[in-house]
């Protein structure tokens, strides 16, 4: 018999770096005014659907995610727990640079999950490794309902983990959504795992 689970992942809404052409990664961008409204709408709609559930709430500490998590936490009466494991992928020397700078100066094409675009950047495998302990705590712990607020690249990796796939499947599939997207992962008592919604944009309306 398996523990019944529902995990909701929220990709943070519109951030300043979505508008100014800069790299996101570990730069600590804030939400835009639209992003804050999207976060409010996500919080309201999740509360309407799951408000009677006792959630654990985990978030990346980067501001665009932490602001989102605090808004959601207020709706559920929960304080977010900020986890470095949920930070976006570190792009090394591209942090603080523009997207165009990254394209012009990239050192290596990322053809596999082990490749790093810069020598001081994280690969997707590196993110997989730092996510794994948190993933195992959530998936094999006693909590039935968990809500994660993070970033597109990181959540895409978490979703592949959820399906029990090997890390090298990151070379072949992508399970990331768009900013302000909500994904719902569920596990039955027989252990069957389902992605019932992937990057659902209706919650931010």
CATH of residue 33: 3.40.50.1240
Which segments of the chain does DSSP mark as H helices, in order? 17-20, 33-50, 63-76, 99-105, 124-140, 152-162
> What digits encode the pLDDT tens for the residues 107-117?
999 999 999 99
> For residue 69, how many other CB atoms are within 10 A of its CB?
28
Range of the domain at 29: 8-183+197-204
> How far apart are alpha carbons 95 and 118 in whole angstroms?
11
In a domain, 12, yes or no: yes
Residue 58 lies in a domain: yes
User: CA 202 to CA 47: how far, in whole Å?
Assistant: 14
Task: Answer yes or no: is pLDDT of 1 > 80.
Answer: no
* Torsional sign, CA 79, 126, 25, 150: negative
pLDDT digits (tens, 9 = 90+) for 9-44: 999 999 999 999 999 999 999 999 999 999 999 999
3-state class (DSSP) for residue 15: strand
* 68-95 pLDDT tens trace: 999 999 999 999 999 999 999 999 999 9
Give me the pLDDT at residue 77, please: 94
- Average pLDDT score over the chain: 97
């Amino acid at each position: 018999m398996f523990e019944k689970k529902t995990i909701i992942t929220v990709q943070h809404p519109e951030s300043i770096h979505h508008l100014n052409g800069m790299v996101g990664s570990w730069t600590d961008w804030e939400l835009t005014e639209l992003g804050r409204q999207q976060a409010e709408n996500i919080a309201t709609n999740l509360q309407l659907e799951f408000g009677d559930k006792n959630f654990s709430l985990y978030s990346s500490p980067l501001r665009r995610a932490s602001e989102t998590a605090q808004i959601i936490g207020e709706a559920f009466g929960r304080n977010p727990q900020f986890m470095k494991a949920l930070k976006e992928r570190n792009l090394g020397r591209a942090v603080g640079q523009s997207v165009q700078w990254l394209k012009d100066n990239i050192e290596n094409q990322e053809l596999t999950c082990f490749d790093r675009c810069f020598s001081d950047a994280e690969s997707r495998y590196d993110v997989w490794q730092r996510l794994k302990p948190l993933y195992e705590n959530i998936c094999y712990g006693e909590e039935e309902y968990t809500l994660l607020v993070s970033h597109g690249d990181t959540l895409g990796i978490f979703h592949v983990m959820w399906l029990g796939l090997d890390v090298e499947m990151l070379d072949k599939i992508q399970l990331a959504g768009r900013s302000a997207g909500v994904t719902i992962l569920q596990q039955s008592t027989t252990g069957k795992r389902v992605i019932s919604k992937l990057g659902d944009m209706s919650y931010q309306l």
